[in-house]
Structure formats: C-alpha cells, structure tokens
C-alpha cells in the first residue's frame, strides 16, 4: 500500500517542458555537455532545487549536488540522480528521466513536508554521454577518483575546444574538490536502453550491475592521390583499410556472442573529397561484455586485425585505448530495496544487467549503488525517436521513492 505517491502528470509535464531546451525537429534533444544549452538546463535545475529548499553545490568538473536536509546531520545524504547532457541525436529520456524523476521525488516530499532521516541529494553528473568529450561518464569518473581534474580539463572535442575552456565558458567550474561532497548511497533511475523489459512485459528492471566497456581510437594513414590517374595496385587507400576493420570489429563481436557487442560509431575521412583517394581515416571502436577476460581477448583480436590490415594495404596506423570501464556489481541491500519498492507499488519486475554505461558504475566504487530501469519502446535509445510512456516514467519514479525511503529507514 502506497503512503507517498509521486505526481505522474507533473513529472511528465516537466520532462516535456525541459525537452524544449535543445529540442530537435524530430522530437529528440541535442544538448551536448558544457554548451550554452547545457548551461540553460543547469540554471533551470539549480533554480528548481533551490525552490525546494535545497542547497546546490558544484565541483571542479561541473557535477551539481542539490542537498535537502534530513533529521540527522551526522550522516551523509542518500543520493539520487543521473545526467542532463544528451547525444547529438538524443532522446527525451536517457539520463534526463533519472534527474527529473529524482526532482519529482524531492517535490513529493517537499509538498507533504516529509522529513527523511538522512539528508537527500539530487545529482546532475557532467559529460555522462561522452559524445563531446571522451571518455563517457567523465564527471562521475573524476568524482570517484578514476580520473583527475587535469585529465578532464585536457579532453578535447572534435573542434579543438578543451573541457577546461568549455566549462569556463558556461560558468560551471565549481569550487568543490571532486569527491568532497559526500553521499552514503546512490540510486539512479534510467530507461533500460534495450528491449528486454518491453519484450517480457515487465515494468521495472532491478539492476544487478553494469557490463564492462572499452573504447578505442584508431587512425589509419595512407596517401592522398588522384582517383582517376592512380592505378589500383599503387594506391594506399586509408578508407579501404577502415572499411575492412569495421567489418572485422563486427566479426569479433559476433565471435564472442551472445553477450559481446562491438561497434564503430564515429568515422572521419580526410580529405573527404569525391575525386581524392582518402589519405587518412580516424574511427572509434566500442567493445562491451560482462567479463573482463572476454574483453581482453576481443582487444587482442582488434590489435591483430589493425596490424594485419595495415600491412596488407601498406598503411601507417596509430591506435589507443581511451576508456576501460570494468564490469560492476551493485550493492545487495540497495538491490533488495528496489525489488521491495517495486513489489510495494504492485509493479512487475525482473533482475537485469545493464548493457549501457552509467554514472552508477563509478559511484559504486565509492558508495553503495544500484539502479532502477523502466522500459523504452522497441529498446531504442541514443535516437531522437527514443520513447517511453508517462505511466512507465511514473512507475520508475515511484520505485525510486519507495527504495529511497526503505534505505533511509536504517538511519532512524
């Protein structure tokens, strides 16, 4: 039986209203991290949290922490939240639901003047997507000590702008040292970004952990030449090498199926002219698997493939691993709180492993952590057509609230 119930319509209206900040013609959001649009949504977020009586603090990499007081001042807050940045062709829910669902939890408690035992904290993490600055989950990674501020500052987007320059431009270089703002636990609400919940008719995913992820950057260099006057046997076509490696990345992932995935998602051709043989190609590789040993094998196969293709076509090559996020197991007590929260709300649920990376993977290194998943239509995400329903968003926020209150009871 529910005692505290979130306002489903209010949550939905907030999701739709904030989606206008960076809204695209196809119904998605383009709100890249540390842009003017990111500043706009950050300013809105700060003002909304302060309206609820929260104190908002910002650290050196722009992570935002909105704290609501509890009965006790001798324990660290219980944190909820996610991220407000999006992919270049992002949807309305990836990351955003976790922040705005958390805001709805805060609004519900505020409206009823409900005082928790521990303080509560709502977090907006910086650069979770990694679409502007690699690697992904950069803000939470710095918070957890995986990276330092200097590393974050040195990251450069494809236009040559550094993270340090971008965060200064929007005024969100905070005065708190990474990790200085403490919390005792972290709960992150998110869409599944996959098809499992929808296909099985389940409303809630009780997330057990996150699979391992590795990102690579590869540059192949051949020789630019005229397409009409250069015989095929004398060409050093970097794009041909890249095309073969795209296929080999796919083959490596298939060889380690069903749990492995591999993707080339970004490819830049130089000089990108129709009558010039491509002299250089830059591309990225994304490998994921629940086991580190398998990821290591996939990496070894990639290394061998790059060298073999480069030798065959007479190309120079450079490649490096830019991100290595090992598999993560979440906290059993928080997992149980989410499961109980779903049952209390009368919602169907199943245990699930996250195929996507999340800030929770890094917060799990410094505090008990877990996640709550809700379905997304067709399993589609990182796409402007990404969709879920008002009822599913509300279900996730309700379970988040229920799990939060159950975990908070230990501080009574």
Report the binding-site residues for Zn(2+). Answer: 83, 94, 129, 190, 382
Going by their DSSP bridges, the two strands 280-289 and 267-270 should be labelled as: antiparallel
Among the listed residues 188, 10, 29, the one whose alpha carbon sits nearest the alpha carbon of residue 111: 10
Alpha helices in 24-181 (DSSP H): 36-51, 96-111, 138-143, 149-154, 163-170
Q: Is the dihedral of CA 169, 172, 173, 175 positive or negative?
A: positive
Residue keyed to tokens 């149980």: 336
161: left (phi over 0), alpha (psi -120 to 50) or beta: beta
Q: Is the dihedral of CA 299, 304, 309, 315 positive or negative?
A: positive
What is the distance between the terminal CA atoms of the chain, rounded to a whole angstrom? 21
DSSP string, 59-75: BTT--EEEEE--S-SSS
Q: Show the tokens assigned to 266.
A: 């970004």
Residue keyed to tokens 């709550």: 372
Q: Do the Cβ atoms of 207 and 332 come closer than 8 Å? A: no
A 10 A CB-CB count for 176 gives 15
> Cβ-count burial of 195 within 10 angstroms (0-12 exposed, 13-18 middle, 19+ buried)?
middle
Which positions make up the binding site? 83, 94, 129, 190, 382
A 10 A CB-CB count for 9 gives 9
Residue keyed to tokens 């306002």: 7
A 10 A CB-CB count for 235 gives 17
Q: Show the tokens assigned to 28.
A: 């998605």
Among the listed residues 254, 252, 257, 246, the one whose alpha carbon sits nearest the alpha carbon of residue 284: 246
Q: Where are the beta strands (DSSP E) in 222-260?
A: 225-226
A 10 A CB-CB count for 185 gives 25
């Amino acid at each position: 039986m529910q005692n505290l119930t979130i306002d489903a319509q209010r949550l939905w209206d907030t999701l739709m209203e904030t989606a206008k900040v960076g809204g695209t013609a196809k119904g998605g959001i383009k709100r890249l991290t540390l842009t003017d649009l990111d500043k706009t949504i950050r300013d809105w977020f700060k003002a909304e949290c302060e309206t609820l009586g929260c104190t908002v603090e910002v650290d050196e990499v722009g992570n935002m922490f909105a704290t609501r007081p509890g009965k006790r001042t001798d324990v660290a807050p219980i944190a909820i939240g996610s991220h407000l940045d999006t992919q270049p062709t992002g949807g309305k829910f990836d990351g955003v639901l976790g922040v705005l669902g958390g805001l709805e939890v805060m609004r519900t408690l505020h409206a009823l003047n409900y005082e928790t035992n521990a303080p509560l904290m709502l977090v907006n993490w910086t650069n979770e997507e990694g679409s502007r600055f690699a690697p992904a989950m950069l803000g939470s990674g710095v918070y957890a000590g995986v990276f330092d501020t200097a590393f974050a500052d040195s990251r450069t987007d494809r236009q040559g702008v550094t993270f340090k320059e971008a965060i200064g431009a929007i005024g969100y270089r905070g005065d708190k040292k990474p990790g200085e703002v403490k919390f005792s636990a972290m709960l992150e609400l998110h869409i599944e970004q996959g098809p499992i919940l929808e296909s099985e008719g389940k409303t809630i995913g009780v997330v057990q952990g996150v699979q391992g992820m590795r990102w690579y950057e590869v540059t192949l260099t051949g020789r630019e030449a005229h397409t009409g006057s250069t015989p095929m046997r004398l060409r050093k076509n970097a794009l041909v090498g890249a095309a073969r490696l795209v296929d080999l990345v796919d083959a490596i992932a298939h060889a380690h199926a069903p749990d492995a995935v591999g993707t080339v998602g970004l490819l830049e051709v130089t000089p990108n002219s129709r009558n010039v043989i491509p002299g250089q190609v830059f591309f990225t590789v994304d490998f994921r698997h629940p086991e580190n040993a398998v990821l290591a094998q996939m990496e070894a196969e990639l290394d061998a493939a790059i060298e073999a293709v480069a030798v065959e076509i007479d190309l120079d090559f450079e490649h490096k691993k830019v991100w290595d996020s090992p598999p993560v197991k979440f906290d059993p007590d928080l997992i149980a709180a989410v499961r109980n929260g779903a049952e209390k709300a009368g919602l169907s649920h199943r245990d699930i492993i996250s195929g996507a990376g999340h800030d929770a993977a890094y917060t799990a290194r410094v505090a008990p952590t877990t996640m709550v998943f809700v379905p997304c239509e067709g399993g589609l995400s990182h796409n402007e057509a990404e969709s879920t329903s008002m009822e599913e968003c509300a279900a996730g926020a309700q379970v988040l609230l229920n799990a939060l209150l159950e975990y908070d009871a230990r501080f009574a």
